[in-house]
Amino acid sequence: MPSLKDIKLTKLGAFVLDLSDQVLYRDADEVAIEPKVMALLLYLYENRDRYVNIEELHQQVWSDRIVSDTAVRSAVKKLRLILDDNDIANARYVKSASKRGYKLVCDIEPVESVHSKSVSASPAPVADTPSEPFPTQVSEPSPSSQHVLSEQPLAARQPHRLAFKVFVLLATLIAVVTGWTKYDAIIKYVLDSQVANVSELEQLTGFNGEKHDLSVSQDGRYVAFSGRTSIDEDRQVYLLDRQNNKVRQLTYHANNAAYVQFVQNDKVLIYSDLNGGKTSVQLLPLTLSEPESGRITLIDGVVAVGDPSRGRHASELLLPMLIDLESEMTLYALDLHTREYLRMLAPSDASEILFDVSLSPDKQKLALIKKIKGQFHILLFDLTTKEETLMYSSKHTLYAVEWKDNTSLMIMAKGTLFEIDSVTGAHVRLIEDSDVLLRGFDTHDGVDIVLLQKEFSRAKRLYIEHLLTPQMEVQQIINTAPQVVAMLYDAQSDKHRWAMNLKDEVTTIGRMAMSTREMEPYYSTDENVELLDVSYQAGGVLFKEGPKLAFYSFKHSQVDYITSSMEISSDAAFSADGRAIYYGVNVAGEWEIQSYNIDTKISSLLIPGYRSIRPAGAGYIVAEPIDAQLFYLSDLAGPARALNHPIDFRYICRWYVRGDHIIWTAFDDRNTYLHKLNWRTGSHHVSEDRLFALYPTIATDTSGDKVLSLSVQLNDTSIATIKIDH
């Protein structure tokens, strides 16, 4: 058996040919092929640059026997059947030309060798004609040799027998391992060679407007999605008919339509709608000519709704939902007839966020995407045993999960769509997304995949500086590259900004010169980062790296972690003197404010019962953990004065205390609201703009006179499709 370095493979269209063992593979499975048909294929491959006439095939492929032209043509026909090349007029593999013969015309990519990094622990495949490690016939020993053996004592013969058995065992093991290794190497190459690229997707719609979520009907004909064509519009629900490629608008009065899902055998469509900070779940009857005229509100007034999924019967919907601010994201089963929803799966961790759910075709298992302490996980929940199993983890975003069949899952992660076997844990890449353009997908049969494809990996963006006045006058517009994902003021220089770049999965924090846009890097990591503040007085940068609160010291050029990945912490701020960092942390279900001494690197309790804090004059502004209401404390032991305004704890929001003013952002997925409150007098003003025109992750200068905000253009999105049958 040849070694790995001797394995010679070539890709023939959708097939892979092992030239060394003369084996044809498709989708990692060996294809049954007669010896003469294989010989024909090999000869056509060796002479792939020209046509081979029938006389030459007689001489070269059938040199050992005399056959008729009909037999040769029959072999060609069998080869075409094997290659699924049935349309002779539009041949994809074997093309015939009158009086010229036959030619192999498929895409051919020879590969000299393939190497496997590891040996599979799975059983070796059983070959049709296994190779024997030793000759099957052994000659009889001569009489003299028999005599010599018979005269040896038993004790003398046993070591020889033992050595022979060990030798046989080792030889067999080497042969099997070599077979496993070679098989794994070939299978890996076969599967890798079939990874599709985003450029191979078939576009069902153009890139006009943004699209946020999609659902495919059970017969695959219709695709429902939410979206809008301009930043000034509200997101509505649309329906694409794949039979004629026409898009029909289903709603005109939704406030902010989001997740969509077909149910009740595709007779109705469910979508969520956000209005005034509260979310509702709506039903559209698709049997009506104007579905919005028959709209029914199923659930109203909840805080948030996640991506729904079909349930265990036609009128059931599985729905991740946050009922109120005191609860946690929980999976519910909603009955469309009674409009009642029952808790199906509660979170097991206070930091757990449920993003997506999919029910297996046999209705026995749930696949879940959860974010726990900054890490994304794919978990399986067995509805019979109530057991939960971890299948996959990633520090990067997982966008969606769907069942391909009862054992395999398809998962969209950042930069790829891949398949994972829920039994063995084996991974197979399906689509390579190197430019990170894919954001969601759905499938009705596990083969026909429908996807959302962004035009750009990140939408075009600007940073806009406003004077913080009732008119929100624009002071300047800062044009940056798309990889600049955050920006803060530099307290020492108006000619610089502190910025955060994200490129090739690496986040870099640095100081950017406004004149050249060049950045002096300070710290880089491949973790998710949330930039919080920079203080020259404290001597460093405050940020979150994954779930951990971190401080980068200018003096020591190193990062100190204030909290661990196991702790649930809120945002953080520097103390007035710059010697400490104040932050909220959840201890045994209760929030408290702790103070981290930058010099000693020791944390201690500052005040219990609050989630976030900022220094304000000689006192403090604090926020309660549940409803985020603000209070003023003249000192840590004194009474709290209610300010009668809540902030927004969601991670893309920011809040600052600048002199006598509290400045903070809130959003409702339609608009961003910029608040300015005088904590001494109670005067309050709020400005609003579209969510992406004024992104909530703002920064303010030290005086509180200017606000720096990100403005993002629409990222036009298409609906695309591809068939993946391996």
Q: Tell me the three state secondary structure of residue 408.
A: strand
DSSP label at 404?
A: S
Residue ranges per domain, the chain? Answer: 4-115+170-193, 196-457, 527-633
Amino acid 545: pLDDT:
94
538, 554, 560, 577 from 597: Cα distances, Å: 10, 16, 11, 11
- Amino acid letter at 561? Y
Residue 329, number of CB atoms within 10 A of its CB: 20
Q: What angle do CA 103, 106, 110 make, to 5 degrees?
A: 100
Q: How many CB atoms lie within 10 A of CB 490?
A: 18
Strands of 175-285, DSSP E: 196-197, 202-203, 210-216, 222-228, 236-241, 246-249, 257-263, 268-275, 278-285
Using an 8 Å Cβ cutoff, are 571 and 581 in contact? Answer: no
Question: How is domain 527-633 classified at the CATH fold level?
Answer: Neuraminidase (2.120.10)
Amino acid occupying residue 136? T
Angle of helix 35-46 relative to helix 69-82, nearest 10 degrees, comes to: 80
d(Cα 176, Cα 124) in Å, to the nearest integer? 7
pLDDT score, position 130: 35
> What is the C-alpha to C-alpha distance for residues 589 and 297, in angstroms, rounded to an integer?
34
Three-state DSSP state, 75: helix
Rounded CA separation 229/449 (Å): 24
656-660: list long-range contacts, CB under 8 Å, 24+ apart. Answer: 656/614, 656/700, 656/704, 657/614, 657/615, 657/616, 657/621, 658/700, 658/701, 658/702, 658/703, 658/704, 659/703, 659/704, 660/617
d(CA 459, CA 692): 10
Predicted local confidence at residue 192, as pLDDT: 59
**CA separation for the pair 442, 226 (Å, rounded):** 14
- The pTM is what? 0.65
Across the beta sheet with 506-513, what order do the strands follow?
Answer: 484-489, 496-503, 506-513, 519-525
Alpha-carbon span 574 to 596, nearest angstrom: 9
Q: What is the pLDDT of residue 87?
A: 80
Q: What is the pLDDT of residue 125?
A: 35
pLDDT computed for residue 342 by the predictor? 93
pLDDT value, residue 157: 41
Mean pLDDT, consecutive 10-residue stretches, the chain (726 aa), reads 55 85 81 89 92 91 84 89 84 88 88 43 35 36 38 43 54 55 58 78 91 95 94 92 94 94 96 88 96 96 92 94 85 94 83 90 95 88 93 90 96 93 89 92 95 88 91 90 93 96 91 94 93 97 95 96 92 96 94 97 97 96 95 93 95 95 90 95 94 93 95 91 86
Instruction: Determine the straight-line distance between the first and last CA of the chain, rounded to whole angstroms.
Output: 28
Fold match, 4-115+170-193 / 196-457: no
Single out the residue of 241, 219, 235, 234 nearest to residue 719, CA to CA.
241
CATH superfamily of this structure's domain 196-457: TolB, C-terminal domain (2.120.10.30)
Q: Which CATH class is domain 4-115+170-193?
A: mainly alpha
The tokens for 327 are: 């609860």
Torsion sign over Cα 324, 325, 326, 329: positive
Going along 52-159, which residue ranges are E strands?
94-97, 101-104, 108-111
In terms of Cβ atoms closer than 10 Å to its own Cβ (0-12, 13-18, 19+), residue 342 is exposed
HSE-CB for 340 with a 13 A CA cutoff: 2
Which residues are registered as beta bridge partners of 631? 622, 642
- Count of residues for the chain? 726
Buried b (16+ CB within 10 A) or exposed e, 555-578: eeeebeebbeeebbbbbbbbbbee
